[in-house]
A and B are shown apart, each in its own frame.
Chain A
Amino acid sequence: MSDAARSPIVQVAVTEDDVFVRSQSVPVLPPPLVATGPIGWLRANLFSTPLNALLTVAVVALLVWLVPPLIRFLFIDATWSGADREACLAASDGAEGACWAFVRDRLAYFIYGSYPIAQRWRVDLFFAMLAFGVGWLLWLDAPRRALGALYFFVVMPVIAYVLLNGFPLIGLPSVDTALWGGVLVTVVVTTVGIVASLPLGILLALGRRSSLPVVRVASTLFIEFVRGVPLITVLFMASVMLPLFVPPAWAPDKLLRALVGIVLFSSAYMAEVVRGGLAAIPNGQYEAARALGLRFWRMQGFVVLPQALRITIPNIVNSFIALFKDTTLVFFVGIFDFLKTIEVARVDPKWATPVTSATGYAFAAIFYFVFCFLMARYADRIEYRLARADRR
């Protein structure tokens, strides 16, 4: 109602006695407290039904039971510095807290293993090169990403091999792989796994979709065979059978055997991931490429794979996470990866306390969790971005 329409009524009200007509609107009351604000939120999200209220109480009880002791163990009662077990034993009478002094003391071992101390700058340099390459590839808007791929898949592996393994001709003394360990080995195994398994996986995926029966059957057999057995048996196979497969003079060292096992294993999984991406490319793309006169490899290289790999990135990152976790299994074939160095260090008498094992595992858990969680969030973000691009 406009003002003009209302004013005559107001005039009528003024002329009559003891009649009150409000000429202004009532001030707006705040919404009821129980429907908005913290209380409303609580009601809607935690206590909407009796069952929900019961669940909330149960979960709160569970959290109260779990979280404070955990925080006390990790932070409040923890021992942060000290030279040997005495520091942690002295601090922990009564209250048991993590012995972070142990982690601090052995941190270099956890990162480099037994890599000679004077040569550890080479490992640091390798980490920096790797971080640079990974950053280049993962940052989707980075300039010259094709160059980045060339760097990551061709240039970096060669330099890294020379750097880590040594090349006496240019003044880098060689370092036996038996001395490698810790985060270095975990990172090397994961990187080799991903760098080698992506191209192999693409080949296998193309092979499995090939129209040539022999190629198709060979690829399918390989993929299904590897996916049907545990990684640990593939590693055992690589470590006990590989030396039998080749002439004695070529017998590969332990790390190389494990790497072969990891690469075979992850390329089968990668093949399935890539195949999923290939299956999502409409037939029209193939037909159009053929109509333009492109042959198989050009069609794949210029038309199909660029689209298929793009939509596969989240799944590739996910299998990267799986690979990163799976590298812990090289433990079984006598290689000192990060987890194995923790296993070795936690039984060292110098640091033998009741909490050493738990501390070591907590540290390893934080390490793996942080990396895997960040990679998973990255995959989610790419997926979201791709979905948004599709909605356009």
Chain B
Amino acid sequence: MSRDRAGAPRLAVLDDPKLRGILYQILLCVFIALAAVAVVRNVSTNLARNHITSGFGFLDQVAGFDISQTLIEYSVQTSTYGRAFWVGLINTLVVSGLGIVLATFLGFLVGIARLSSNWLVANVARAYVEFFRNIPLLLQLLFWYNAVLKALPEARQSFSIGGGVLLNNRGLFLPQPIFGAGVDLVAIALVVGAAAAFAWGRLARARREQTGKALPILAPSLVVLIGLPVLTFLIAGADVKLIYPELGRFNVRGGIEILPEFVALLFGLVVYTAAFIAEVVRAGLLSVPRGQSEAASALGLQRRQVLSLIVIPQAKRVIIPPLTNQYLNLTKNSSLAVAIGYPDFVQIFTGTVLNQTGQAVEVVVITLAVYLALSFITSAAMNWYNARIAIVGR
């Protein structure tokens, strides 16, 4: 505050930008603190009035409700709310993880199709994107579940898709493989195969960068990755039994049962998110200037090489950040499972557990924390990948 020094502008104290800034910040802090105090006081009086004891002790109480899809052990009689939390979280992760993989495939397919030189393919892809993007996801989920899957025939008249797969209004039934001896060896072979494929990829890349000679990567990797486990399996005696789902009088017995809720949710999420991913991919591919692919063609690269060596590496940098957003959206949208009764995290925890225990504050705080953590992990992973492929500044 050098107001008296010659040359410095003379300001009233309140006109000094620095002072004003500090004043504003103090006001904001006071406001936030007052609001927080008011909320805490209201919450505690309201809870006391409703005779709800706060705290996380309820997580150790027996839940006593049934869950239709449990990938970890869970029993109605003995499992706690804490266990139900994990069951729901795993269900959410399964549907989001599968959804991300499938939506990426479908989205890239549609996005590339939109740029096809084939008029019909490009326009069908465009119609797909416009149609699914402009209809609320919730409506799509309700449609797939209530109007398509629930309208399927009953168990007795199941559709037989072939290979022992049955489809009816109780879900999708797959044959269940029971592995005999040698299953451990196959698992080890799979790990070894993956490691070998990874090592081969690094080696081929290093060699290409040193000598300029491109070694094939995809084919040998696939051979090692698939061939090795299959070979081990055959050598170990091919000991596997398939338990086919059988039609009972009212239901299907045996086999792997996939809930119709799961099918509808996964399908809806994939179809919806793929439309957005397609646009991301299209924008990414279009962002690479034409001159790049023309120059590559002029150097004598083939069309496939132009794509894989010139266009895609550059497009990837544009695609990754918005693609991350779509992955996050898919994960968050999986919470719409509530609408069709798939036992995801929100349905089990924020729905049933909240209703049974009345611990609104704790349950909502845990829910928010879980989704924040999921978002954080996904974006951290994608940021790491993005930093790895970013252009190294010179």
| Contact stretch, chosen from B172-180, B243-251, B329-337 | B329-337
Q: Which residue of A lies closest to B364 (CB)?
A: A237
- Nearest Cβ in chain B — how far from A193, in angstroms? 14
Chain B residues positioned under 8 Å from A240 (CB to CB): 354, 360, 364
* B139 at the A interface (CB under 8 A): yes
* A55 at the B interface (CB under 8 A): yes
Known: A45-B118, A218-B32. A230 touches B335 (CB 8 A): yes
Q: Which residue of B lies closest to A66 (CB)?
A: B124
Contact assessment for B42 and A233 in the assembled complex, using a CB-CB cutoff below 8 Å: no
Contact assessment for B364 and A241 in the assembled complex, using a CB-CB cutoff below 8 Å: yes
Chain B residues positioned under 8 Å from A154 (CB to CB): none
| Contact stretch, chosen from A11-19, A159-167, A170-178, A353-361 | A353-361
Within 8 A of A (CB), among B18-61: 21, 24-25, 28-29, 32, 39, 42-43, 45-47, 49
Q: Which residue of B lies closest to A240 (CB)?
A: B360
Partner of B335, one of A63, A232, A331: A232
* A37 at the B interface (CB under 8 A): no
Partner of A230, one of B47, B120, B150, B346: B346
Mask, B106-138, CB within 8 Å of A = 1, is: 000000000011111100100000110111111
Chain A residues positioned under 8 Å from B375 (CB to CB): 227-229
* B385 at the A interface (CB under 8 A): no
Chain B residues positioned under 8 Å from A369 (CB to CB): 131, 134-135
Chain B residues positioned under 8 Å from A63 (CB to CB): 124
Chain A residues positioned under 8 Å from B151 (CB to CB): 354, 357-358
Interface residues on B, range: 35 or more
Bound-state CA distance A243–B46 (Å) is 9
Partner of B134, one of A227, A358, A373: A373
Contact assessment for A365 and B135 in the assembled complex, using a CB-CB cutoff below 8 Å: yes
* A215 at the B interface (CB under 8 A): yes
Within 8 A of A (CB), among B295-335: 328, 332-333, 335
| Contact stretch, chosen from A75-83, A84-92, A118-126, A321-329 | A321-329
Within 8 A of B (CB), among A313-339: 321, 325-326, 328-329, 331-332, 339
Contact assessment for B367 and A236 in the assembled complex, using a CB-CB cutoff below 8 Å: yes
| Contact stretch, chosen from B68-76, B141-149, B208-216 | B141-149
Bound-state CA distance A218–B32 (Å) is 9
Chain A residues positioned under 8 Å from B124 (CB to CB): 59, 62-63
Within 8 A of B (CB), among A190-245: 211-215, 218, 225, 227-233, 236-237, 240-241, 243-245
Chain A residues positioned under 8 Å from B146 (CB to CB): 346, 357, 361
- Nearest Cβ in chain B — how far from A78, in angstroms? 15
Q: Which residue of A lies closest to B43 (CB)?
A: A244
Chain A residues positioned under 8 Å from B368 (CB to CB): 225, 229, 233, 237
Partner of B117, one of A45, A225, A227, A230: A45
- Nearest Cβ in chain B — how far from A279, in angstroms? 15
* A30 at the B interface (CB under 8 A): no
- Nearest Cβ in chain A — how far from B196, in angstroms? 33
Bound-state CA distance A341–B29 (Å) is 44
Contact assessment for B333 and A230 in the assembled complex, using a CB-CB cutoff below 8 Å: yes
Bound-state CA distance A237–B360 (Å) is 8
* A60 at the B interface (CB under 8 A): yes
- Nearest Cβ in chain A — how far from B122, in angstroms? 9
- Nearest Cβ in chain A — how far from B339, in angstroms? 7
Contact assessment for B350 and A233 in the assembled complex, using a CB-CB cutoff below 8 Å: yes
Contact assessment for B24 and A215 in the assembled complex, using a CB-CB cutoff below 8 Å: yes
Known: A325-B136, A331-B138. A233 touches B371 (CB 8 A): yes
* B372 at the A interface (CB under 8 A): yes
Q: Which residue of B lies closest to A245 (CB)?
A: B39
* A364 at the B interface (CB under 8 A): yes
Q: Which residue of A lies closest to B123 (CB)?
A: A59
Known: A245-B43, A326-B136. A211 touches B364 (CB 8 A): no
Chain B residues positioned under 8 Å from A56 (CB to CB): 118, 120-121
* A38 at the B interface (CB under 8 A): no
Bound-state CA distance A368–B25 (Å) is 44
- Nearest Cβ in chain B — how far from A115, in angstroms? 23
Contact assessment for A372 and B371 in the assembled complex, using a CB-CB cutoff below 8 Å: no
Partner of B118, one of A55, A225, A236: A55
Chain A residues positioned under 8 Å from B336 (CB to CB): 232, 329
* B338 at the A interface (CB under 8 A): yes
Contact assessment for B147 and A244 in the assembled complex, using a CB-CB cutoff below 8 Å: no
Chain A residues positioned under 8 Å from B133 (CB to CB): 372
Contact assessment for A332 and B119 in the assembled complex, using a CB-CB cutoff below 8 Å: no
Partner of B42, one of A60, A245, A343, A357: A245
Contact assessment for B361 and A365 in the assembled complex, using a CB-CB cutoff below 8 Å: no
* B376 at the A interface (CB under 8 A): yes
Contact assessment for A60 and B136 in the assembled complex, using a CB-CB cutoff below 8 Å: no
Chain A residues positioned under 8 Å from B143 (CB to CB): 358, 361, 365
Chain A residues positioned under 8 Å from B134 (CB to CB): 321, 325, 368-369, 372-373, 376
Bound-state CA distance A357–B151 (Å) is 10
* A285 at the B interface (CB under 8 A): no
Chain A residues positioned under 8 Å from B42 (CB to CB): 244-247
Within 8 A of A (CB), among B363-394: 364, 367-368, 371-372, 375-376
Chain A residues positioned under 8 Å from B25 (CB to CB): 212-215
Chain B residues positioned under 8 Å from A349 (CB to CB): none
Partner of A215, one of B28, B119, B135: B28
Known: A240-B364, A241-B360, A325-B137. A373 touches B130 (CB 8 A): yes
Partner of B28, one of A214, A227, A232, A241: A214
Q: Which residue of B lies closest to A243 (CB)?
A: B46
Contact assessment for B117 and A229 in the assembled complex, using a CB-CB cutoff below 8 Å: no
Chain A residues positioned under 8 Å from B372 (CB to CB): 225, 228-229
Contact assessment for A361 and B121 in the assembled complex, using a CB-CB cutoff below 8 Å: no
Contact assessment for B46 and A248 in the assembled complex, using a CB-CB cutoff below 8 Å: yes
Bound-state CA distance A59–B119 (Å) is 11
Within 8 A of B (CB), among A48-84: 48, 52, 55-56, 59-60, 62-63
Bound-state CA distance A213–B32 (Å) is 15
Q: Which residue of A lies closest to B124 (CB)?
A: A59
Bound-state CA distance A328–B333 (Å) is 13
- Nearest Cβ in chain B — how far from A44, in angstroms? 8
Chain B residues positioned under 8 Å from A354 (CB to CB): 151
Contact assessment for B147 and A361 in the assembled complex, using a CB-CB cutoff below 8 Å: yes
**Subset of 30 A-B contacts with CB under 8 Å:** A45-B119, A48-B118, A55-B121, A56-B118, A56-B120, A59-B121, A60-B120, A214-B28, A214-B29, A228-B371, A228-B375, A229-B332, A229-B367, A229-B375, A230-B371, A231-B332, A232-B338, A233-B364, A233-B368, A244-B46, A246-B42, A321-B134, A325-B136, A328-B136, A339-B136, A365-B139, A368-B136, A369-B134, A372-B134, A372-B135
Apart from the given pairs A357-B146, A358-B151, A372-B135, 9 other A-B contacts in the complex at a CB distance below 8 Å: A227-B375, A230-B371, A241-B364, A245-B39, A321-B134, A325-B135, A357-B151, A373-B134, A376-B130
Closest 10 CB pairs of A and B: A372-B134, A45-B119, A230-B332, A214-B25, A325-B136, A228-B375, A230-B335, A240-B360, A358-B147, A361-B143
